[in-house]
Amino acid sequence: IVGSPWSERVSGVFAYESSKVDWCEENYRHSEHVVEYFNTVSNLIFFIISPMMLYLLHPYARERHQAVHLVWLMMVFVGVFSLYFHMTLSFLGQMLDELSILWVLALGYALWFPRRRFPSFIKDRSFGRLVLIITALTTVSSFVKPTANAYVLNVFGLQLLYVLRMEMKQYALRLAKRMVALWVLAITCWISDRFGCAFWQELNFCYLHGIWHILIVMAVAYGTTLIAFLDASYEIPYSLPGIQYWPCDQWEVGLPHIVLKGNTKLRKEC
């Protein structure tokens, strides 16, 4: 019913600045239609890196599981929802942004969590269902206190780093160190923008959250490549997986990806 409290509440979810989260960048500085201009534009990195990683990881996904592509397809949605959130600072935009990140993490757990580290009561197929159930419950509970969602997501990220540390191979340490460095820089930018806004406003430099977008996409690129390499080393060792960088393998700041040097036709059939 138009004009009813329910309709007003629903319309408020879509309203500009209906979210309780407001980042450090000055609002409406460059456009009357875009609340946080640089934070919005910086999301373009998602639409550049995601298709490239889909292409670079395709040989691994074709040999291991096509579902691997879902991670970077979901990263495109993260970019779309993050762009919408920073353009409007609406409550709906905030929830879509945070929940899309949650589902990317859930996909990563379901696809790559090492089978040998499953609890004894969990079988291979039931683990994915368990992750789905937990993620669905977390999605619902995230509406209880939305301002806490970002902190919970960062905790999940820390736990994933711990699992990677447990699985680390010696010759993957260099890639892992770069990933951790990118992640630490990204989190530093996020925390500085969230809690040190007054300081950065004095310096007239309120772009740290936008820089966080760029750094976290690169950290995810390094992280997914590292996880895929470890997974391939254990699950399809006959493919002789290796790590290379695009556009030039000698550039340690390029996009990492998996190369399969072995003959996949030697795969053991059961």
Instruction: Give the annotated binding-site residues for Ca(2+).
Output: 22-23, 25, 27, 36
Q: Quick check: helix, strand or coil at residue 242?
A: strand
Q: How far is CA 80 from CA 13, 40, 56, 73, in A?
A: 18, 10, 22, 11
* Residue 162 φ then ψ, to 5°: -65, -45
Annotated binding site: 22-23, 25, 27, 36, 86, 209, 213
Annotated binding site for Zn(2+): 86, 209, 213
- DSSP assignment of 178-229, as one string? HHHHHHHHHHHHHHHHHH-HHHHHHTT---HHHHHHHHHHHHHHHHHHHHHH
* Residue 260 φ then ψ, to 5°: -105, 110
Among candidates 223, 224, 220, which has minimal Cα distance to 212? Answer: 220
